[in-house]
Structure 1
């Protein structure tokens, strides 16, 4: 069984870990960000960050610089630095007129990107001369709200999913702070805002918003999940070939690479699921990672329950629990231990206020026949 932590009845909108995994930042569907600290095996509330006015929509914790960036429906983003035992906020000049929806630090932590309902991406970096965080915009050809972001390992390319059913890979090169980028399978010319690739999450009679995007450890592949219950992977090293699985499950809200050939997706189905790629980059569904099962009520056998229902001529209505650890939609996935090239643990947070840490060793033991490549 995975380790589970309950943070009350409020939904967890997003969460992030520090480098040592001894601190945890969550947003309980509010303008606040709660920082928890692991003390003697227990998670205790350490500090509440209250600078935002509306619901926090994104949190990311930079492991090396130990800075937290948050964004919110109030159209603002803050970079939080730990000074003198307290988290101090610095306002970021996003220059957007709609809600911020997601935020991600770049791998080198010298910049971050913020998606928004303003149909643009703000690529933010620190300007030493004026001692503040400024932004440059990527606009074309985005035609709707940007819902999700992820950085390529080279610190330059940025994948974005949006509600116009598109996944796009842009160059987020900031010449003021970076050297000229090297060529990749995605392309060679990389001025800021250059569209390197575009993929559609819609076909005739089907399609959906893109809820999550994720680059693989090598950066050659990008995966995404859509509201049409699909999971897709595009491979730049194979001529932008796309492999799509349209599942019968409820829509996924988040996806995460756990090895170069395996990814986990979770969402409204309340259960993380594993998908794997073969030698030809064709994807297949491997199974559910939640081995939990609904337990029989103590002292009441199935026969007695049936006899009671038959005698009273009514249907059972008081059993509303699901046969999964999460009892509502999973809103976010994060790496816990390891990297995208080989993760051993990952975490899920959900609308049920529960955060779970999943260990692949325990999952493989509990599910015979499952082997992570």
Structure 2
């Protein structure tokens, strides 16, 4: 069982992100605003409210090195916020999209970022010194809404998860931002996918690179998790049917352990030991291999099954989990040497939960305490 701390910061939270030293957290309370909370004594108080967006903010990313906040919204806009003279000042990004922006992510070197959208494309954005603005170029090879993006540790490759049932890997090299670098797959035309994975039979909600970039995990709405291994060419893909409701976001704790969050209202652990396997829930007793066989479904799943099978409409929906509704976002809060020991989750219940785990990884076993 993992230790955790719960902070109820809003009625509903669509996204959250932390600054570099974790002294502040930015959230969207399911509207057009971004609230920045700071820790005062033993409580979190609102320090700033960012109101430049016109519709619900869908994604937030806070760059740890440059201290810039990146936000995207259903209003089809993205802003880069810079802190100066005690205020957060926005710079509009020229996205040139006609549908909502769904997800944003800074590159590891923070010299560019990616914006997913409902316009069947991804914007790769970079700063133009001569014009003093953020411009973008488009990756268009998707057939439906792009739901998530994630950068490879090399700062060049970008993975996208789409509702067209596919995961793609692109070379997102931008000459103005990257300069002269060695591209891992040669001079591939911008916007052409290097790899395309169609192992999913429904929307792909999430994709995440491992710390080394050797594997890519992605989760879909049919409650499947797939892991692509790039140590061979072409990559091999291992697919796992989960016992949970669909996952919405993923995080690697180590090269061989993944935490997924979603509609079951609890983080779940999937580990690799001669094959990826579901290990159990992190905020329940009995997490581990012993919990994988014959275990009962979670309370969230029982509630759903009772409504469908029995017509149960009881209003008492108090769950025994830390979250009381779908978890939409998971981000690391403490890591060292490729091991993530602490992470935070937020969801539709308005809670931000900080999880403290102890990860033990050897050649023969992996254990999360």
Which TM-score bucket, shorter chain as reference?
0.7 to 0.9
Following the alignment from structure 2 to structure 1, what is the Cα–Cα distance between the partners of residues 175 and 29? 37
Following the alignment from structure 1 to structure 2, what is the Cα–Cα distance between the partners of residues 236 and 370? 22
Question: How far off is 1:139 after superposition?
Answer: 0.7
Matched residue, 1:244: 239
TM-score using structure 2 length:
0.87
Could you tell me which runs of 5 or more consecutive residues in structure 2 were left unpaired when the two chains were aligned: 287-311
Question: How far off is 1:181 after superposition?
Answer: 3.6
Match 1:256 to one of 251, 257, 276: 251
User: How many equivalent pairs are there?
Assistant: 337
Matched residue, 1:135: 136
Match 1:224 to one of 218, 229, 234: 218
Secondary structure of the 2:346 match is: strand
Matched residue, 1:21: 22
Matching of residue 209 in structure 1 with residue 209 in structure 2: no
Matched residue, 1:193: 191
TM-score using structure 1 length:
0.86
Residues 252 and 268, structure 1, Cα contact 8 Å, conserved in 2:
yes
Matched residue, 1:52: 53
Could you tell me which runs of 5 or more consecutive residues in structure 1 were left unpaired when the two chains were aligned: 294-314
Residues 271 and 366, structure 2, Cα contact 8 Å, conserved in 1:
no
Question: How far off is 1:175 after superposition?
Answer: 1.1
Deviates more, 1:318-327 or 1:264-273: 318-327
Secondary structure of the 1:177 match is: helix
Q: What is the Cα-based RMSD across aligned positions, in Å?
A: 2.1
Following the alignment from structure 1 to structure 2, what is the Cα–Cα distance between the partners of residues 55 and 188? 39
Secondary structure of the 1:2 match is: strand
Following the alignment from structure 1 to structure 2, what is the Cα–Cα distance between the partners of residues 229 and 192? 32
CA offsets 1:286-340 (integer angstroms, 9 cap, x no match): 11101279xxxxxxxxxxxxxxxxxxxxx99464211211111001000011158
Higher gyration radius (CA)? 1
CA offsets 1:210-239 (integer angstroms, 9 cap, x no match): 111111111111111110111111011133
Match 2:343 to one of 343, 346, 354: 346
